[in-house]
Amino acid sequence: MGNLQKELEKIGITKNNNNSEYSLNNIKRSDGRKWNEVRPIILEPNYIKNSDGSCLISYGNTKVICTAMISEEVPIFAKEKGIGWLTSEYSMLPGSTLKRKSRDRNKIDGRSVEIQRLIGRSIRGGIDLTCFPGYSIYIDTDVINADGGTRTASITGGFVAAALAFKKYLLKGLIKVNPIKNYVAAISIGIVDGNILLDLMYEEDEKAYCDMNVVATDSGELIDVSAGSGGESFGKNQFLKMLDVAIEQVVRITQIQKTIVAES
């Protein structure tokens, strides 16, 4: 028995009879999902009619409105390099959480700043900024209902909004080449009560002693991985297994993105 299999069996994961897939024993998630199953992912394109590109994305009960808009205001460093820029803003509706969240007015809270930076750099990871010099693309992600995974849903939906906007800019002649190099999506995965769970709901996220967000391309190349524990350690093999499971699912999500954009 290999070391990886031994480590996985310690946390309740065993190989199936075909010796190729892992399954989790005796785990019941409140929504009936298997350990490696994501919530239903629904993308409604062109949700906001006035924006250049938009969608409403749902990861189960987590729902985020994502929009993309173009501007001729470009950061100085981008102008000097002769490239365009893409940035992001993230916010949560006060009633999107179980306890009312105050609106961001004069100062954005640290968590939102961290998340919107993550969204921006994640989407830029699949975009060729040289294709739209002199322009900035603003990705706005507004959470209207939060049940875990708001940042991963925002990345996946934000990329779709950008892709739809680029289609419009091509038709209008604002750009000559589609800037998309690779589609980008994201998913969360964590360890709850010693068990690996994919796409955490809020109740699972609250109990997780390891929570990881994985951003990757349609070819499985990594863009961003953030993982931390709540004071407890977790093993290297657990980390690698979570990474493999998450990447596999992200690649599947990018196929949903491509279908939605192609049909819109």
Alpha-carbon gap, residue 153 to 97, rounded angstroms: 15
How large is the average pLDDT for residues 22-31? Answer: 63
How large is the average pLDDT for residues 7-11? Answer: 47
Q: What's the Cα-to-Cα distance from 237 to each of 119, 152, 234, 240, rounded to whole Å?
A: 28, 23, 9, 5
Of 10-14, 44-48, 51-55, 208-212, the one with minimum mean pLDDT is 10-14
Please state, for a pLDDT cut of 70, what percent of the chain lies above it.
89
pLDDT tens figures, 213-229: 999 999 999 999 998 87
Does the pLDDT value for residue 24 go beyond 50? no
Closest CA to 251 of 30, 27, 29, 38: 38
pLDDT, residue 6, reads: 53
Strand ranges, E, within 129-248 = 136-145, 184-192, 195-198, 210-217, 222-229
How large is the average pLDDT for residues 64-82? Answer: 95
pLDDT, residue 19, reads: 38
Please identify which residue in the block is written with the tokens 């062109």.
46
pLDDT, residue 2, reads: 55
Does the pLDDT value for residue 193 go beyond 90? no
159 near 152, Cβ under 8 Å?
no
Q: Report the sign of the C-alpha dihedral through residues 2, 209, 65, 54, in that order.
A: negative
H or E segment and range at residue 15: strand 13-15
Alpha-carbon gap, residue 70 to 169, rounded angstroms: 9
The neighbouring-strand residues paired with 181 are: none
Closest CA to 141 of 73, 44, 54: 54
- Per-residue confidence band for 111, with pLDDT thresholds at 50, 70 and 90: confident
Please state, for a pLDDT cut of 90, what percent of the chain lies above it.
71
How large is the average pLDDT for residues 13-32? Answer: 54
Does the pLDDT value for residue 161 go beyond 60? yes
Token representation of residue 22: 């892992």
Of 13-17, 176-180, 200-204, 236-240, the one with minimum mean pLDDT is 13-17
- Per-residue confidence band for 156, with pLDDT thresholds at 50, 70 and 90: very high
159 near 137, Cβ under 8 Å?
no
The number of distinct structural domains making up the chain is 1
In 3-state terms, what secondary structure has residue 77? helix
Token representation of residue 130: 């040289």
Provide φ and ψ at 240, rounded to 5°: -65, -40
30 vs 181, which has greater pLDDT? 181
H or E segment and range at residue 123: helix 110-124
Please identify which residue in the block is written with the tokens 């189960």.
60
What residue numbers bound the domain in which 59 lies? 3-263
pLDDT, residue 38, reads: 96
How large is the average pLDDT for residues 42-71? Answer: 97
Q: CB atoms < 10 A from the CB of 11, how many?
A: 17
pLDDT, residue 109, reads: 73
Token representation of residue 166: 């680029």
Q: Taking all residues of the chain, what is their mean pLDDT, rounded to a whole number? A: 88
Alpha-carbon gap, residue 193 to 151, rounded angstroms: 23
Alpha-carbon gap, residue 189 to 60, rounded angstroms: 15
- Per-residue confidence band for 11, with pLDDT thresholds at 50, 70 and 90: very low
Q: What CATH code is carried by the domain that includes residue 110?
A: 3.30.230.70
pLDDT tens figures, 129-154: 999 999 999 999 999 999 999 999 99
How large is the average pLDDT for residues 243-260? Answer: 97
